[in-house]
């Protein structure tokens, strides 16, 4: 769903592990959405477990989005303007063509979705400018401030009219029954995670410039461990407070903030817990690339990462149309692993064909050409008129 690392900067050979991490995260998406569409009763243990396991995907995608941007800004500042144009093109694609494709997968259901691709599209339009203006530490402070403001408005702001509800649900999210969306990835809290990850990518770039892959791996595992410790500490603190002040109305808000599974909108401990797992996934992919183990599997997940947008768009057609239509007619519900494996084969085989034919080149709205044409037009009008020759 974000530009593959190897397309963004082909000279960074060691960035393949980021594509592999994105491809691995896509497998979690497939697991979660299969459970969502195959099992009619979502309160059963199995689909609930699939959904909870699959929750690692969204934070991982947002972390990778910011991480790659910060990394490339640190390591290739001379090429950053070209990257900004590419990200603008991809962001516009996600917000227009990508949204319409997702709508087409099941119009009666998805028209009330504000997808993660929409939020990533907004990030792609805004983040390059922020990264070029603020230092990594300032970006961390800004991301924390945005997250706090977002949750303050979620808890305190009660819009009076429909416009206010639309703004709140789109930008910050809502804990009550949503007026406009069936499901939404509110922009501001996810933007803050993406922004914080650009700082991590910047620090990774410093290690990369020194040729220190082990340093990158240590950085990732340390941040992941610290995030997991913060999640565990926050959850433990909530239970202690719950015993000390039972029945306090403020504990309801604390319960949401301290939940490891508060995804809509994303709570801080949810971000710490699943973000830590995502960072360990990235570190594991780096280790596999460095050691050369599981070469075939690594190549497969790398391909999925490079076609992640196609996989995300196409899998909705498979699951919302095929799986939901066939689930009541398929024999032996207990054989769901077979059906899930078949769906994964179909999606990944289609992605392999897409990749082999080079169809990623069609993921564009033509912004780079438009930008180049406007630049030429501007330069033509700013250039001085040639002096008339004197006879």
Model confidence band, residue 268 (pLDDT cutoffs 50, 70, 90): very high
| pLDDT band for position 112 (cuts 50, 70, 90) | confident
The rounded mean pLDDT for the chain is 88
Domain membership of residue 390 (yes or no) is no
389 within some domain: no
Domain assignment present for 225 = yes
Q: Please say whether the beta carbons of 300 and 23 come within 8 A.
A: yes
| pLDDT 10s digits, 335-369 | 999 999 999 999 999 999 999 999 999 999 999 88
Q: What is the pLDDT of residue 6?
A: 44
Based on the number of CB atoms within 10 Å of its own CB, is 48 exposed (0-12), middle (13-18) or buried (19 or more)? middle
Which pLDDT belongs to residue 217? 93
Quote the percentage of the chain above a pLDDT of 70.
Answer: 91
Q: Which residues of 262-298 are buried (b: 16+ CB within 10 A; e: fewer)?
A: bbbbbbbbbbbbbbbbbbbbbbbbbbbbeeeeeeeeb
pLDDT in tens, 229-264: 999 999 998 888 878 776 665 666 777 888 999 998
Domain that residue 77 falls in:
5-382
pLDDT of residue 158: 87
Beta strands in the chain (DSSP E): 113-114, 183-184
For a pLDDT cut of 90, what percent of the chain falls above it? 66
- Residue 61 belongs to some domain of the structure: yes
> Does residue 27 sit within a domain?
yes
Residue 391 belongs to a domain = no
Contact present, 269 and 261 (Cβ < 8 Å): no
Mean pLDDT of 182-202: 95
| Counted domains in the chain | 1
- If we measure between CA atoms, which residue out of 383, 375, 385 comes closest to residue 82? 375
What tokens were used for 329?
């007619």
Is residue 199 domain-resident?
yes
In a domain, 387, yes or no: no
57 and 304 in contact (C-beta within 8 Å)?
no
Nearest-5° Cα angle at 287, 285 to 293: 90
Greater pLDDT, 56 or 175: 56
């Amino acid at each position: 769903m974000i530009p593959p690392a190897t397309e963004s900067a082909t000279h960074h050979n060691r960035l393949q592990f980021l594509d592999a991490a994105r491809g691995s995260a896509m497998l979690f998406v497939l697991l979660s959405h299969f459970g969502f569409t195959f099992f009619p009763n979502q309160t059963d243990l199995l689909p609930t477990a699939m959904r909870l396991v699959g929750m690692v995907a969204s934070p991982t995608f947002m972390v990778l989005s910011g991480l790659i941007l910060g990394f490339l800004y640190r390591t290739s500042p001379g090429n950053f303007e070209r990257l900004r144009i590419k990200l603008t093109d991809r962001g516009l694609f996600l917000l227009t063509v990508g949204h319409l494709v997702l709508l087409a997968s099941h119009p009666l259901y998805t028209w009330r979705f504000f997808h993660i691709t929409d939020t990533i599209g907004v990030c792609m339009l805004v983040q390059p400018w922020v990264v070029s203006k603020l230092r990594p530490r300032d970006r961390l402070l800004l991301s924390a401030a945005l997250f706090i403001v977002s949750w303050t408005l979620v808890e305190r702001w009660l819009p009076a009219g429909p416009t206010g509800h639309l703004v709140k649900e789109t930008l910050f999210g809502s804990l009550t029954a949503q007026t406009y969306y069936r499901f939404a990835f509110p922009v501001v809290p996810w933007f803050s995670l993406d922004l914080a990850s650009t700082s991590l990518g910047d620090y990774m770039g410093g290690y990369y410039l020194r040729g220190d892959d082990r340093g990158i791996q240590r950085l990732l595992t340390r941040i992941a461990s610290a995030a997991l410790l913060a999640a565990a500490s926050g959850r433990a603190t909530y239970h202690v407070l719950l015993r000390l002040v039972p029945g306090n109305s403020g504990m309801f808000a604390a319960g949401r903030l301290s939940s490891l599974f508060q995804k809509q909108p994303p709570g801080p401990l949810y971000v710490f817990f699943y973000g830590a797992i995502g960072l360990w996934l990235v570190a594991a992919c780096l280790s596999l690339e460095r050691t050369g183990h599981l070469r075939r599997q690594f190549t497969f997940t790398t391909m999925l990462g490079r076609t992640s947008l196609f996989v995300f768009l196409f899998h909705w057609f498979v699951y919302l149309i095929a799986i939901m239509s066939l689930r009541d007619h398929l024999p032996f519900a207990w054989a769901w692993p077979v059906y899930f494996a078949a769906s994964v084969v179909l999606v990944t085989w289609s992605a392999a064909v897409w990749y082999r034919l080079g169809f990623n080149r069609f993921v564009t709205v033509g912004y780079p050409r438009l930008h180049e044409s406007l630049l030429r037009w501007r330069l033509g009008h700013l250039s001085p008129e040639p002096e008339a020759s004197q006879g």
